[in-house]
Chains A and B, each alone.
Chain A
Amino acid sequence: MKENTSLAAKISGAPYIAWMIIFIIFPLAVVAYFAFTDSSGSFTLNNIATLSRYSDIFLRSIWFGAIATIICLVISYPLAYIISQTAQDNQRIIIMLVMLPMWMNFLLRTYSWMLILEDTGIINNWLIKLGLEPVQMINTSGAVILGMVYNYLPYMILPLYSIMSRMDNSIIEAARDLGGNSAKIVQKVVFPISMPGVVSGITMVFVPSVSTFYISQKLGGGKFTLIGDVIEMQFQTSYNYNLGAAMSLALMVLILACLFVMNKFTDEDDGGILV
């Protein structure tokens, strides 16, 4: 088939191409430039070399991000399936409820969790009133991961729900008809078909979780510094743009590597949504 690109098509594409060059390609080049130069602007590999000092923070970020992603998946998968099986009108309401927190400011949401989890917060107040021992919840790794799960859960539910609601019910009936019990149907039909949704859900939760900042400062009490917080520090307080840029670059490479590995585990050409 002959590619037929008219002049109009080329012109209408131009603004988007310009946008991508100005706001995506160029900034990336700037980040790379800063990462490989020192404050006087001459080439150096020092920034990259310094990163090894932060390797534990990188690892922790990926570890926390992975745990949050797995928890999101475990919660969302059955939920998305249940939503897709309810009546049409109810589906719309439930999905709106799922999305509702996303319309609330991110900082506000995280602050509310502080109020709930604090030593003198809502939960511990109840525990004390019930005559129980208060529990340390704030400033734990659990609180940080909870913050991630709470903030990014909708990004897992929505792609899963969207693929499950489009799944033809007669496919499930066909599987049942051919001798599948419920467990077999989920294992052999529902899960494989929903794989693209799983992949895009994981991507959309894992990427922001790994690079998130603020959550760990507020809910982790500074004990669980994540790479996003360190990068923020480089730009906001240390004014070391070069190290900050190197960290951002390294984080990007690590995330791409993680997604690449995950893609290897899922089937050949199902993961079209990825990256």
Chain B
Amino acid sequence: MENNVIIDLKNIAVTFDEEPILKGINLYIRDGEFVTLLGPSGCGKTTTLRIIAGFLEPNSGDVMFENKRINGVPPHKRQVNTIFQRYALFPHLNVYENVAFGLRLKKLPEKEIRQTVEEMLSLVNLKGFSKRKVESLSGGQQQRVAIARALAVKPRVLLLDEPLGALDLKLRKDMQIELKNIQQRLGITFIYVTHDQEEALSMSDTVVVMDCGRIQQIGTPIDIYNEPKNAFVADFIGESNILDGIMKSDYSVEFSGHTFECLDKGFDKNESVDVVVRPEDVDVVAVEKGAICGTVTSVTFKGVHFEMIVDIDGFKWMIQSTDQQFEGDEIGLVIEPDAIHIMKKSDYSGQFGDYSSFSDEIEQLSSASEEV
């Protein structure tokens, strides 16, 4: 292990009311890294964050901070600060006093406090807001105050619990960029919790995908997207068609009744595998030129591309293309070797990746319930 590891979770397990929430989390985080814990609600990501913050003690396992065990150390004695989901600003204090709160507890001299508060307020672009009441600020401004307040006490690690969840889309995008800039400028470690895969991919150095109290995959955003480890990760990150396949030999896989060339190897001969094909990686061609062909059952215009559901031998694929097709059209599909990703079978096999029951409405409903 590298020696610049700042936080190391060793075999963390947590149980609430006899229900396991975390089942053996092992995760180390390097100093200065932007790490995102990504997963659906109830996956244990916020619990993991609260353990690092010290609000929650694990039932078993060690929490290490720079190789020292910090289990039992209360939150106010950890060099870790949290940005809460709903800002948690002090309603009885103005912007200045909110940011100064931690500094006053440290009993720093007034001059130093003023200097730090002003520095922090300008860092989050809230110069001139000192005297404002926090209730008079917009959601985005309140979140900036929360960020300034946490950074003012100079934490080594900043924990962010879905900090942008309550903001509208446009503001969220702006804040993503700003947070990333702040992190790079200060060079401190950010541990960021979100259920928004796009947010995770665009901001992080490392993404930790979680589900059911376990880490499913740790990797760079590109690795997570291109080389998902199992059907859950493939489905949760972006859109994926996940098919049952058989590995004929190295570099050769059969699915949808056709044998394709691929870039994967190291599987047993005739091993059953999950095959991932991203909707944007499929080329639409004329029926006679396609390796496989199917019928378009629905088309949705998405702006950049058309999103279609294509029935191929009863399996519904999602395919994105810039060329318009129409419902009922027969089309051929070509899949290049580098568009195919092979995964070993897992507990998640067969649960994801078929778009037969897909509708945008269901998608929105489920993502709305995750935000609660």
Contact = CB atoms under 8 A, between A and B. Distances in A.
A189 B76 CA distance: 15
B76 A170 contact: no
Contact of B88 (A168, A181, A184): A168
Interface string A261-275: 000000100100000
A178 B53 contact: no
Nearest to A172: B88
B325 to A, nearest CB: 49
Nearest to A178: B102
B91 interface: yes
Nearest to A173: B55
B92 A177 contact: no
A193 B75 CA distance: 22
Contacts of B86: 168, 170
B101 interface: yes
Interface stretch (B77-85, B238-246, B350-358): B77-85
Interface string A181-197: 10010001100110100
Interface in B144-158: 149-150, 153
B76 A181 contact: yes
B260 interface: no
B351 to A, nearest CB: 34
B105 A178 contact: yes
A189 B97 CA distance: 12
Interface size range on A against B: 20 to 34
Given A178-B105, A179-B105, A193-B91, A173 B75 contact: yes
Contacts of A97: none
B106 interface: yes
Given A180-B76, A180-B105, A184-B105, A175 B84 contact: no
B106 A179 contact: yes
Contacts of B102: 178-179
A194 to B, nearest CB: 10
Interface in B282-311: none
Given A168-B86, A171-B90, A176 B101 contact: no
A176 B149 CA distance: 13
B270 to A, nearest CB: 54
Given A178-B76, A179-B153, A180-B76, A173 B105 contact: no
B20 interface: no
Nearest to B152: A178
B187 interface: no
A87 B237 CA distance: 38
A170 B215 CA distance: 26
Contacts of A177: 53, 75-76, 81-82, 150
**Which one of A171, A175, A179, A180 has the highest number of Cβ atoms from chain B below 10 Å of its Cβ?**
A179
A193 B88 CA distance: 13
Given A178-B81, A179-B102, A179-B153, 8 more contacts: A170-B84, A171-B88, A173-B75, A176-B74, A177-B76, A178-B153, A180-B76, A193-B92
Query: Which 5 pairs show the lowest CB-CB distances between chains A and B?
Result: A178-B102, A170-B88, A174-B88, A179-B105, A192-B92
